[in-house]
Amino acid sequence: MTQKTIRLLMPQWQGGNNPNYSFGAELLAWLAPDNDQPLIHVPVQAYDGTPLENENGMHGRTQLLEQLKSAQHLIDAHKPDRIVMFGGDCLVEQAPFAYLNERYGGELGLIWIDAHSDLVNYVGYDNGHALPLGNLLGEGDKDFAQHVKVPLKPDHVFIAGLAAPTEQEAEVISEAFQRLGITTAEADTEVIQRLGIRTASSEELASSTEPVKKWIKENGIKHLAIHLDLDVLDPKAFRSLLFANPEDPFKLSPAGTMQLPQLLKLLKELSEETDVVGLGITEHMPWDAIYLKNLLGEIPILNK
């Protein structure tokens, strides 16, 4: 029986409070191999120069909730078996993965390939892209978590590529937190331990993907969704990341260390191990293209 696959383009930027995420999402969808899978655009309010309001501890809360509902509506209308999501900030993953967990009877497996857990909110940072995995587990932010009808099982979640800060990074992050007044009531490590979520760093997976394969077998995961935050990659090797901004590198969390060949090997082996029904790719920041686009926008002959 043929399975229905849809692609969603959701150029959401409000979750990271950075308009550049929109262009990154659009370019990502354009770069993907062309096929007969329909590409569906999720409406996102474009940046108009107005700063986002901090609404009860989250920038752009109202817009983000509206866009979440739009994504849910489109997915429900198409009733797909498989979903590919091009983002945008990481919060775009909530609607497709929540749907897929319902679609597969609450037994969906989710591998979160990310340098960061996206489980807890840092008070003072207040950006929604820090919480999608927490929301999907029924934790996170209550306004968003209530839209997850069937929360994911913690033992069906594996975080791959989780980065621990180097001594130098930890010092820089601490100084930045103090300067910006950022605090957190509950560290992500506490949530991971409390829920029993399995994790592995890029270094641990470099020699073998056996920990992930073992997790799939032990939990009988027949259907798998993959979250790929490009921030898992080493910014020295892959430059289209928030952490590789040539003007103002992001210093509020540790950078990823995974290499592109290692990432590709992991993705291919996951596809051989079980049925991949979801893939989300997020946080694409193509700095050279962004700066060139801005330059072209200022050239008189191109704008007459």
Tens digits of per-residue pLDDT, 270-291? Answer: 999 999 999 999 999 999 999 9
Mean of pLDDT values over 3-25: 97
Residue 302: DSSP 8-state = G
Q: Is residue 102 part of a domain?
A: yes
Q: Do 14 and 63 touch, CB atoms closer than 8 A?
A: yes
pLDDT tens-place string over residues 178-217: 887 877 656 788 899 999 999 999 999 999 999 999 999 9
CA distance 138 to 78: 25
Residue 304 covered by a domain: no
Answer yes or no: is 303 within a domain.
no
Which contiguous run of DSSP H or E holds residue 28? helix 20-31
In a domain, 39, yes or no: yes
71: in domain: yes
Is this prediction's pTM over 0.75? yes
CATH number of the structural domain spanning residue 197: 3.40.800.10
What is the per-residue pLDDT across 84-138, written as a single tens digit (0 to 9) for each? 999 999 999 999 999 999 999 999 999 999 999 999 877 788 999 999 999 999 9
Q: What is the pLDDT of residues 47-72, one digit of tens each?
A: 999 999 999 999 999 999 999 999 99
**Would 285 be classed as within a structural domain?**
yes
Indicate whether 200 belongs to any domain: yes
Count of structural domains, the chain: 1
Q: Domain residues for 185?
A: 5-298
Residues 6+ apart with CB under 8 A from 212: 111, 158, 160, 200, 205, 266, 269, 270, 273
pLDDT of residue 182: 77
Q: What are phi and psi of 16, to 5 degrees?
A: -105, 0
DSSP state, 15? T
